[in-house]
Amino acid sequence: MKIGFIGLGNMGGPMAANLAKAGHEVTGFDMADVEIEGVRMAGGAAEAANGAQVVITMLPNGDILRRVADAVIPAMDKGAVLLDCSTVDVRSARDVAAQAQAAGLSALDAPVSGGVGGAAGGTLTFMVGGDEPGFNIAKELFDIMGQKAVHCGSSGNGQAAKICNNMILGATMIATCEAFALADKLGLERQAMFDVVSTSSGYSWSMNAYCPAPGIGPKSPADNGYQPGFAADLMLKDLRLSQQAAETVDADTPMGRAACDLYARFVEQEDGKGRDFSAMLPRFETRGRS
């Protein structure tokens, strides 16, 4: 396939490289001066999109996505697919999809889970919103860049799935960390706490697969000085998107709001910036109730 790829950062770079390695003809563009193995670099977003059957975007936020969409949509052939893999607000995803459809294109929002490791290893999970024909065309590319693609319904539903998932993740990580800190103060060994909770009703991905306590459970960023992994800054971004979406549709999300406020304090006022989101545990360890 002829593919345009815009936004070749930590995630987009390896995703584009994997597509090229699989034999697709990939033309890329990034604001920064980057080189990606197997990818021909264009002088602008529209040039990268020109003649492509699928144009993939992997960008920081919804405002940038809107600007890039304005540039690439007029350059794309009717029937081509605009496939946005960034994490953005649901409103921007739906507006960009409507703009693409009005120009005779298919549009998909397909945010990912799996992080930089998943992008490099081709093991991402895609949560996809948009039309069925577009999904069927992109499926072959999802299979190269990832291990699973779930079609979640119409435009914006991929972003909805992503922020709901990460709202659960943020809240359960905080709950897991505060419970470890409480257990410490009650004199309960961390290994015993893990052995019980990971096989009891308090279990979760945060406890079982990504345990925030060093030396306990499978290897995780806690065993590497809380280097990300999944950075607290990115968790904050996703929690803010969840609260923005909740406000738009008048949904009551008290746990999501509390998680958002806590990660905001951790990243913006404490030492959370640049650390893994599980570094909430050392934060709780040093604190009392007030």
Q: Indicate which residues carry an active-site annotation.
A: 162
- The count of C-alpha atoms lying within 13 angstroms of the C-alpha of 121, restricted to the half-sphere facing its C-beta, is 11
Q: Does 68 participate in binding ligand NAD (rule CB under 6 A)?
A: yes
Minimum gap (Å) between residue 258 Cβ and ligand NAD: 22
Q: Does 87 participate in binding ligand NAD (rule CB under 6 A)?
A: yes
**How far is C-alpha 154 from the geometric centre of its chain's CA atoms?**
19
Site for ligand NAD in 214-243 (CB under 6 A): 230, 234, 237
Rounded distance between C-alpha atoms, residue 92 and residue 98, angstroms: 10
Near ligand NAD by CB under 6 A: residue from 37, 40, 60, 274: 60
Q: Is 218 left (phi over 0), alpha (psi -120 to 50) or beta?
A: beta
Torsion angle, CA of 53/56/62/68, rounded to 10 degrees?
A: -60
Rounded distance between C-alpha atoms, residue 77 and residue 148, angstroms: 28
Is the CB of residue 16 less than 8 Å from the CB of residue 69?
A: no
Is the CB of residue 76 less than 8 Å from the CB of residue 55?
A: yes
Near ligand NAD by CB under 6 A: residue from 3, 4, 5, 6: 6
Near ligand NAD by CB under 6 A: residue from 3, 4, 5, 12: 12
Q: First CA to last CA across the chain, in angstroms? A: 58
Near ligand NAD by CB under 6 A: residue from 1, 22, 41, 64: 64
Q: Does 69 participate in binding ligand NAD (rule CB under 6 A)?
A: no
Minimum gap (Å) between residue 78 Cβ and ligand NAD: 23
- Give the pairing of strands 146-153 and 40-41: unpaired
Tell me the window of 5-13, 17-25, 98-106, 178-186 that interacts with ligand NAD (CB under 6 A).
Answer: 5-13
Backbone angles phi, psi at 21, to 5 degrees: -60, -30
Q: Does 73 participate in binding ligand NAD (rule CB under 6 A)?
A: no
Tell me the window of 16-24, 52-60, 93-101, 143-151 that interacts with ligand NAD (CB under 6 A).
Answer: 52-60
Site map 167..206 versus ligand NAD, x via CB under 6 A: ----------------------------------------
Rounded distance between C-alpha atoms, residue 200 and residue 257, angstroms: 27
Residues recorded for the chain: 290
Task: Return the number of the residue (44 or 79) whose C-beta is nearest ligand NAD.
Answer: 44
Count of residues near ligand NAD by CB under 6 A: 26
Query: How many CB atoms sit inside 10 A of residue 267's CB?
Result: 21
Q: Does 58 participate in binding ligand NAD (rule CB under 6 A)?
A: yes
Residues in contact with ligand NAD by the rule CB under 6 A: 6-12, 29-32, 45, 58-60, 64, 67-68, 86-87, 112, 115-116, 230, 234, 237
